[in-house]
C-alpha cells in the first residue's frame, strides 16, 4: 500500500474530467476495489472494524439506504420519515439502556456522540457560573474526548487505571474539584474492552452533583445483551442514578451502516444545551440539533431498519456467538505461557507478553500479520487486542488463531532483540510502512496523487 494505492491498476485522475464515463465502467471499477478490500474480513481474521459482515444484511440495509440516500434530514417537512426513524431509534436504544425517558439524538458516529456531551456539560457548567470547566476521564477513554475538550476549551484531567485496567476511582475523586462539570467513563474500552467502575463513579457524580457520561460507543450494543445472556457485565446504564448521558454506536455492534450513533440524555434540559439556534439569520430561523447540518436520511433509515429487522432476539443470538468466541479466544491466549490477558474482558480481548518471557508483543504481531490477521496494537503497556465481531464467530477461526499464535510466539523468541515492523497504531494500519504512508497523506494530501509520468500533461491520464 502506498500513497496512491491504485496507481498501478487504474489511470490516475489528475484534473477534472471533461466528459463523464459510462456508469457501467465506473461500477466495474468500484466493484473490483470493494471485492478486493472486503476479502480479508470474510474469513474472520480482522479484529473490530467490520461488525456484522453479513452480506445479506448489508444488501438489505443498502436497499433501505437507497430509498433515502438523497434525502436531507434537515428538511423535516419533506421527509417526516426521518423524524419517525430518529425517534424510534432513540426509543429502542433508550429501552435497551434503561433510560427513564427516550431523550436523545442520532449523530454521525462515536466521535460526535462524545463531543456533544462535552459541549453540553460546558454549557451546563456555565449556567452555574463555572467559567473554567474541567472533566475527569480515564487514560483509556477514547481520544474523541480529547478532541472535544480541545474544540470546546475544556480542561482534561486524566485519571490512571488500576492493575485491572479500569479507572482508579480514588484518583478520579482526587482530581475532581469545584470546576468539574462531568466525569467520563467507558463501558467497553477501546484498548482493553473493559467496563470502568461506573457504579462507583455514579455514586461520586451524585455526591458532587455533577454529570457522568458513559461511552458505550463500542460496548453499548453488545454489553447490553450480556447481562441477559448470563455474562458478568456490571450495570453501566441509566439504572445508575448518576449516569446523565450514554453514547452507543449503531454503526458498530448496532449493525447499521457507517455514519450513525445514538446519544441519550437523562433529561431534556441537558439535551437542550446541545441545540443550536440563530434566530435572525437572513437565511431564516436556523435550528439544528447538533454539529451536523445536512445529513442523509438513508443512514438513519438503515440504522432503524437494522434494529427493526434483528430485534432483541437477533442481537442476542449474534451477541451469544461473539461472547462465546471471545471466551474461547481468551482461553487460547491463556494457554500460551508467554502471554497474559489484560483485565477481565468479555468481547474485546487485549493481551501482552509476560514479564518473565521478556518477548516483544509486536514481534508476535509481525508473524500474525504474515498469516493475514489484523489485530490492533496498543501501548502503555504494549499489547494487542482482538475485538471479536460477527465474522470472527465462524467455525475454525479461534482454532486457526490459536495455532498461528503459538507460531507467532516462537517467531518472537527467534527474532528477540530485532525491531518489530508492527506497532501501536489506532486505525490507519498495522505496520510502520502502512502508517507512514497514511501519515504522509495527512501531512501533505497533495502527495496522494503521484507525480505525472515524465512528458505527460495534466490530462494525460484522463478518461
Ligand atoms: C470506546 C470508543 N469510543 C468512541 C469511539 C469513536 O467512534 P467513531 O470512530 O465512530 O467516531 C470508538 C471507536 O472505536 C470507541 O472504541
**What is the model's pLDDT at position 463?**
33
Tell me the C-alpha distance between 220 and 248, whole Å.
5
Render pLDDT for 121-179 as a digit per residue (tens, 0 to 9): 999 999 999 999 999 999 999 999 999 999 999 999 999 999 999 999 999 999 999 99
CA 91/CA 104 separation, integer angstroms:
9
Residue bearing the CA closest to ligand 1, atom 9: 110
- What is the CATH number for 388? 3.90.1150.10
Residue 15: inside a domain: no
C-alpha–C-alpha distance, residues 165 and 358, integer Å: 21
Domain membership flag for residue 48:
no
pLDDT band at 442, cuts 50/70/90?
A: low
Inter-axis angle of helices 80-96 and 297-334, nearest 10: 30
Question: Regarding predicted confidence, which is higher, 463 or 32?
Answer: 32
Question: Do 95 and 236 reside in the same domain of the chain?
Answer: yes
Q: Which 3 state secondary structure label does DSSP give 444?
A: coil
Q: Sign of dihedral through CA atoms 200, 202, 207, 210? A: positive
- How confident is residue 431, by pLDDT bands cut at 50, 70 and 90? confident
Instruction: Tell whether 448 is covered by a domain.
Output: no
Average pLDDT in the 196-225 region? 98
Q: Which of 337, 338, 249 is CA-nearest to residue 299? A: 249
- Residue ending a domain, among 249, 273, 307, is 307
Residue bearing cell 430561523: 285
Using alpha carbons, select from 190, 214, 192 the residue that is nearest to residue 202: 214
- Predicted TM-score (pTM) of this structure: 0.94
> For residue 461, what pLDDT is reported?
35
Q: Output 133-136 pairs: Cβ under 8 A, ≥24 positions apart.
A: 133/179, 133/180, 133/181, 134/177, 134/179, 134/180, 134/181, 135/180, 135/181, 135/182, 135/183, 135/184, 136/172, 136/175, 136/176, 136/180, 136/182, 136/183, 136/184
Ligand 1: centre distance to CA 35 (Å): 26
- If asked whether residues 192 and 319 sit together in one domain, one would say no
Mean pLDDT of 55-78: 96
Per-residue pLDDT band for 356 (boundaries 50, 70, 90) equals very high
| Band of pLDDT at residue 245, cut at 50, 70 and 90 | very high
- pLDDT more than 90, % of the chain: 90
User: Is the pLDDT at 313 greater than 70, yes or no?
Assistant: yes
Do 287 and 359 belong to one domain?
no
Q: Which atom of ligand 1 is nearest to the CA of 427?
A: 14
Segment 382-387 mean pLDDT: 98
Of 1-15, 183-197, 225-239, 325-339, which gets the smallest average pLDDT?
Answer: 1-15
Instruction: Please check the confidence at residue 3 and state whether its pLDDT lies above 90.
Output: no
> 106 in a domain, yes or no?
yes
Residue 158 CB neighbour total at 10 angstroms: 15
Domain boundary among 307, 323, 358: 307
Comparison of pLDDT for 16 and 454, the residue scoring more: 16
In this predicted structure, what is the pLDDT of residue 368?
Answer: 98
Which of these, 385, 376, 114, 92, lies nearest to 254 by C-alpha position?
Answer: 92
Q: How confident is residue 1, by pLDDT bands cut at 50, 70 and 90?
A: low
Give residue 430's pLDDT.
80
Residue 456 has a pLDDT of 44
When pLDDT is cut at 50, 70 and 90, the band that residue 462 belongs to is: very low
CA–CA distance, 422 with 343 (Å, rounded to integer): 23
Q: How far is the CA of 218 from the centre of ligand 1 (A)?
A: 6
11 is a domain residue:
no
- The number of folded domains in the chain is 2
Same domain assignment for residues 84 and 116: yes
Please give the order of strands across the beta sheet that includes 383-387: 339-341, 348-353, 383-387, 376-378
My answer on whether 240 and 265 are in the same domain is: yes
pLDDT at 89: 98
Q: For residues 257 and 164, state if they share a domain.
A: yes
Q: Clarify whether residues 318 and 296 are in a common domain.
A: no
Cα 210 to middle of ligand 1, angstroms:
24
For a ligand 1 pocket test, name from 165, 187, 217 the mutation site with the most ligand atoms within 8 angstroms of its C-beta: 217
Q: What CATH number should be reported for the domain holding residue 170?
A: 3.40.640.10
User: What is the tens place of the pLDDT at every residue in 266-276?
Assistant: 999 999 999 99
Q: Phi and psi for 400 in degrees, rounded to 5?
A: -65, -40
CA-based nearest residue to 252, from 425, 114, 388, 115:
388
Mean model confidence pLDDT for the chain:
94
Whether residue 336 lies inside any domain: the answer is yes
pLDDT at 408 over 70: yes
Asked if 359 and 284 sit in the same domain, the reply is no
By mean pLDDT, which of 242-251, 257-266, 436-445 is the weakest? Answer: 436-445
Helix (H, G, I), strand (E, B) or coil at 264: strand
Residue pair 339/409 in contact (Cβ under 8 Å)? The answer is yes
CA distance 254 to 31: 26
Mean pLDDT, residues 54-76: 96
The one-character DSSP state at 360 is: -
Q: In what order do the strands lie in the sheet with 211-216?
A: 104-107, 261-265, 245-248, 211-216, 180-186, 134-138, 155-159
Same domain, 301 and 256: yes
Q: Closest ligand 1 atom, CA of 111? A: 11
- Ligand 1 atom, smallest distance to 216 CA: 1
- Residue owning the nearest CA to atom 5 of ligand 1: 110
Residue 436 scores a pLDDT above 90:
no
What local confidence, expressed as pLDDT, does residue 458 receive? 36
Tell me, yes or no, whether 335 lies in a domain.
yes
- In ligand 1, which atom is closest to the CA atom of 261? 10
Least confident of 6-10, 19-23, 434-438: 434-438
Rounded to 5°, angle at Cα 169 from 133 and 376: 90
- What pLDDT is stored for residue 457 in this prediction? 40
| Residue among 108, 110, 221 to mutate when testing ligand 1 (max atoms within 8 A of CB) | 110
* Domain assignment present for 463: no
Query: Predicted confidence band at 454 (pLDDT cuts at 50, 70, 90)?
Result: low
Find the mean pLDDT for residues 61-69: 98
> Contact, 399 vs 337, CB < 8 A?
no
Domain match, 241 and 340 both: no
Query: Do 245 and 317 fall within a single domain?
Result: no
Does 288 share its domain with 380?
A: no
Tell me the three cell numbers of residue 7: 496507481
Instruction: Judge whether residue 459 has pLDDT over 50.
Output: no
- Residue 375 lies in domain: 313-439
So what's the pLDDT on residue 429? 78
| pLDDT confidence tier of residue 446, bands split at 50, 70 and 90 | low
Ligand 1 environment, Cβ below 6 A: 109-111, 114, 142, 144, 186, 189-190, 215, 217-218, 249
Question: Three cell numbers at 431?
Answer: 505496520
Q: Coil, strand, or helix at residue 286?
A: strand
Q: Which of 259, 291, 307 is where one domain is finished?
A: 307
The helix-helix angle for 55-68 and 297-334 (nearest 10°) equals: 160
Amino acid at each position: 500500500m502506498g500513497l496512491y494505492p491504485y496507481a498501478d491498476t487504474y489511470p490516475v485522475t489528475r484534473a477534472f474530467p471533461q466528459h463523464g464515463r459510462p456508469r457501467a465502467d465506473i461500477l466495474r471499477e468500484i466493484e473490483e476495489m470493494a471485492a478486493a478490500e472486503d476479502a480479508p474480513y470474510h474469513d474472520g481474521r480482522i479484529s473490530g472494524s467490520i461488525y456484522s459482515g453479513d452480506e445479506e444484511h448489508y444488501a438489505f440495509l443498502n436497499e433501505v439506504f437507497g430509498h433515502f440516500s438523497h434525502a436531507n434530514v434537515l428538511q423535516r417537512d419533506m421527509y417526516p420519515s426521518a423524524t419517525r426513524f430518529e425517534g424510534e431509534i432513540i426509543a429502542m436504544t433508550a429501552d435497551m439502556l434503561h433510560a427513564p425517558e427516550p431523550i436523545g439524538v442520532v449523530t454521525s458516529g462515536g466521535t460526535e456522540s462524545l463531543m456533544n456531551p462535552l459541549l453540553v456539560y460546558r454549557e451546563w457548567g456555565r449556567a452555574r457560573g463555572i467559567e473554567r470547566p474541567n472533566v475527569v476521564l480515564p487514560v483509556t477513554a477514547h481520544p474523541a474526548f480529547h478532541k472535544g475538550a480541545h474544540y470546546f476549551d475544556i480542561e482534561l484531567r486524566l485519571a490512571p487505571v488500576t492493575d485491572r485496567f479500569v479507572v482508579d476511582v480514588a484518583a478520579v475523586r482526587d482530581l475532581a474539584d469545584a470546576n468539574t462539570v462531568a466525569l467520563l467513563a467507558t463501558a467497553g474500552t477501546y484498548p482493553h474492552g473493559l467496563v470502568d467502575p461506573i457504579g462507583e463513579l455514579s455514586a461520586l457524580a451524585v455526591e458532587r452533583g455533577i454529570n457522568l457520561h458513559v461511552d458505550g460507543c463500542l460496548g453499548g450494543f453488545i454489553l447490553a445483551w450480556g447481562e441477559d445472556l448470563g455474562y458478568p457485565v456490571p450495570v453501566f446504564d441509566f439504572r445508575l442514578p448518576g449516569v446523565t448521558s450514554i453514547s452507543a454506536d449503531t454503526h458498530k455492534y448496532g449493525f447499521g451502516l457507517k455514519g450513525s450513533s445514538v446519544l441519550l440524555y437523562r433529561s431534556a434540559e441537558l439535551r437542550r444545551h446541545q441545540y443550536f439556534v440563530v434566530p435572525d439569520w437572513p437565511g431564516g430561523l436556523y435550528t439544528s440539533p447538533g454539529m451536523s447540518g445536512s445529513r442523509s436520511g438513508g443512514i438513519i433509515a438503515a440504522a432503524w431498519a437494522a434494529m427493526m429487522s434483528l430485534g432483541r432476539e437477533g442481537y442476542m443470538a449474534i451477541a451469544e456467538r461473539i461472547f462465546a468466541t471471545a471466551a474461547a479466544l481468551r482461553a487460547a491466549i491463556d494457554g500460551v505461557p508467554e502471554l497474559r490477558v489484560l483485565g477481565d474482558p468479555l468481547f474485546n480481548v487485549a493481551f501482552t507478553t509476560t514479564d518473565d518471557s521478556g518477548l516483544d508483543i509486536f514481534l508476535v504481531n509481525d508473524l500474525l500479520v504474515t498469516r493475514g490477521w489484523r489485530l490492533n496494537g496498543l501501548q502503555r503497556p504494549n499489547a494487542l487486542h482482538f475485538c471479536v465481531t460477527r465474522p470472527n464467530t465462524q467455525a475454525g477461526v479461534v482454532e486457526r488463531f490459536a495455532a498461528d499464535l503459538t507460531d507467532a510466539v516462537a517467531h518472537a523468541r527467534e527474532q528477540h532483540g530485532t525491531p518489530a515492523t508492527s506497532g501501536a497504531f489506532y486505525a490507519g494500519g498495522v505496520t510502520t510502512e502502512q502508517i507512514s504512508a497514511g501519515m504522509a497523506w495527512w501531512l501533505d494530501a497533495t502527495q496522494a496523487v503521484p507525480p505525472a509520468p515524465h512528458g505527460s500533461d495534466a490530462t494525460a491520464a484522463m478518461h
